Amino acid sequence: MTILNNSLSIDDGALGIAAAGQRPVAVVGCCSSGTVGAPTTIDTLDGLTDTFGFGPAVDDAAVILSKAGGAILFCRATTATAGAIGGLCQSGGGSSSAGTLAADGSNTATAVPALSGTPDQPYAVKIVVTTAGSNIAATPVVKISLDGGLTYLATGLVAVSASPQAIGSTGLSLAWTDGTFVLSNFWSSVGANCPTSADATGTSVPAFSGTPNDAYDLRVKTMAASSALTDNTAAVAVSIDGGNTYGDTVAIPSSGVYVIPNTGVTVTFGAGTHVVGDIFRVKTSSPTWDTSGLSSALNALAPMAGAYEFAHIAGPIDVTSAATVKTWAVAREAAGEYVFAQCSARDNITGESNTTRNAAISGSTPGFAGYDGGRYLDVHASYGYVESVTHAGSYPRRSLAALRSARLAKEPPHRHPGRVRSGRIEGLMPDPDGGSSLAHDVSTYTSLDTARFSGAQRVMGQARGRYFFTSRTMALATSDFSEVQRIRVMCVAATAALAQMSTYVADDIDVKSDGTGQITEAEGQRIDGEIKAVMKRAVVLTPNAYASAVNASVIRTNNLLSTGILQARISVTPKGSINSVSTTISYTLGG
């Protein structure tokens, strides 16, 4: 017996087209509480934090809720690697110092590293041997972290040498007294010994502990002095965004313990003096998923088919995890659900230049060189200082992917996310001078667009500090789906087409009596008309005016009697999007 079936495939014709009522966004990622793999509809910020606590997925979801309105679908992913606290560094009214490196207690290496120079800011330096050597001449290799081991600059970036070698543009240099280099041995320069542009002068040194809910650039600034904790006069203000903003001044109790709200981090001051203006800083990393946990969370959305338009992945992906996301989207399409994913690339490593970072994510694995995301992935590359909804008033450095997802959720499917008439990107730190809130302006770093990352950019003629999204996706430049609005409209069209074509399953059709078994012209015209009418309502006619035109045609030459297959071809003419305007202006004598 023949099994009843209805299928639809989306054809990418590579046409060369330039690269109100929406369904919710499904946000997937790590957070501090809630059930893993349980998609939940959320429509209020309180409901979000009460159920799922804090963390990167909650932070992104809160941005989308606040900017797009409506509801979101939230699915917690398993945390594979918990958030961590980096090395302590400090600054204040004292003199500059290159810092002093101390060997780990288990080191057996006899080589001795030394820092020199004047750092441009405080750093928590950690140096790890990655290739052993009996001496410098044996060409050992090390990797360097400037945040206490949370992130590392490219391995071997700074050569092992007896003469000072610059560590990027930090103002620091590294030199070695010759000796043995033992694999995995490390040296660090943190706390009172960290490199700093101006040392703290108080003697009470804080310790940071806990499991961070997210990536924070924590700074604790002394606001009121004391000679000892028992004076009960010490007070501090805390920033989670690297000093862009500080919270209210809070008193430090005699115990020295202060829990930083909703961060998962506690700071404990030791005995000693507190001097106004001293700043103590640590960076933290966010909890992260692995590809197995991400896949499980995405697959948990299967019962919610049709309840969301696209998935927003909280946390950066590389080409390996991108393949996981694409595999999920392809599987959903095979099940009759047409979706895509909004993702983000990684940010700069501490101390890494934009040029180096951009080259890394655009390069070979784990970069995206040669990768084809098809009609399934949008990978965002711009980071900046994004207004936090869960930590009101702060502007931590974040991917703009959540703001992009909010813009997509707010605009109809056919609309370019950077449409100037729709307004600038909302939610960035106020930037009247146009030089501080956006770290990766795609109009400056055009290689990101060439590498098919979406991003944010300024637009000539618009006021400084106003930024707009590009439409690029991770599809190949020759694809019909190289702009995100093309993906969105096709998802709507394909959903409508599949539903309509399913109505013909097991239907009886008049065929010609000439022995060909082909559909009659009258039947063909009837079905053509039905399909076109449905498709026009779905994507052409107001209020769903997402495309310029549609056409549909049943294949007349197929032998229906022998194959039992009705074949049809549906085409959608997309609306154009203006990506570039060229104008000439001049004086004239009139006429």
Task: Report pLDDT for 69.
Answer: 87
When pLDDT is cut at 50, 70 and 90, the band that residue 20 belongs to is very low
Task: Report pLDDT for 8.
Answer: 79
Task: Report pLDDT for 199.
Answer: 92
User: What's the rounded mean pLDDT across residues 353-369?
Assistant: 97
> Looking at the predicted structure, is the pLDDT value of residue 16 above 70?
no
User: What's the rounded mean pLDDT across residues 175-188?
Assistant: 98
Q: Which residues of 368-399 are buried (b: 16+ CB within 10 A; e: fewer)?
A: beebebbbbbbbbbbbbbbbbbbbeebbbbbb
R_g (Cα) of the chain, nearest Å? 29
Q: Kindly report the number of other CB atoms within 10 A of residue 467's CB atom.
A: 25
The helix/strand/coil state of 518 is coil
Separation between Cα atoms, residue 524 and residue 483, nearest integer Å: 34
Bridge partners of 172, per DSSP, are 117
Task: Report pLDDT for 14.
Answer: 53
Task: Give yes or no for a contact between 181 and 109, defined as CB atoms under 8 angstroms apart.
Answer: yes
Separation between Cα atoms, residue 341 and residue 317, nearest integer Å: 11
Helix (H) / strand (E) containing 522: helix 521-539
pLDDT digits (tens, 9 = 90+) for 502-551: 999 999 999 999 999 999 999 999 999 999 999 999 999 999 999 999 99
User: What's the rounded mean pLDDT across residues 238-261?
Assistant: 96
Separation between Cα atoms, residue 475 and residue 13, nearest integer Å: 13
- Give me 246's structure tokens: 């500080």
When pLDDT is cut at 50, 70 and 90, the band that residue 304 belongs to is very high
> Looking at the predicted structure, is the pLDDT value of residue 13 above 80?
no
Give the residue among 479, 531, 214, 502 at the shortest CA–CA distance from 340: 479
User: What's the rounded mean pLDDT across residues 161-170?
Assistant: 97
Specify the pTM. Answer: 0.94
pLDDT digits (tens, 9 = 90+) for 209-246: 999 999 999 999 999 999 999 999 999 999 999 999 99
Task: Give yes or no for a contact between 487 and 375, defined as CB atoms under 8 angstroms apart.
Answer: yes
Task: Report pLDDT for 23.
Answer: 85
Task: Report pLDDT for 287.
Answer: 98
Which residues lie closer than 8 Å to 30 by C-beta, 6 or more apart?
55, 56, 57, 76, 77, 78, 79, 286, 287, 288, 289, 314, 315
When pLDDT is cut at 50, 70 and 90, the band that residue 7 belongs to is confident
Separation between Cα atoms, residue 485 and residue 473, nearest integer Å: 9
DSSP string, 464-505: TT--EE--B-SS-TTSTTSBHHHHHHHHHHHHHHHHHHHTTT
pLDDT digits (tens, 9 = 90+) for 322-332: 999 999 999 99
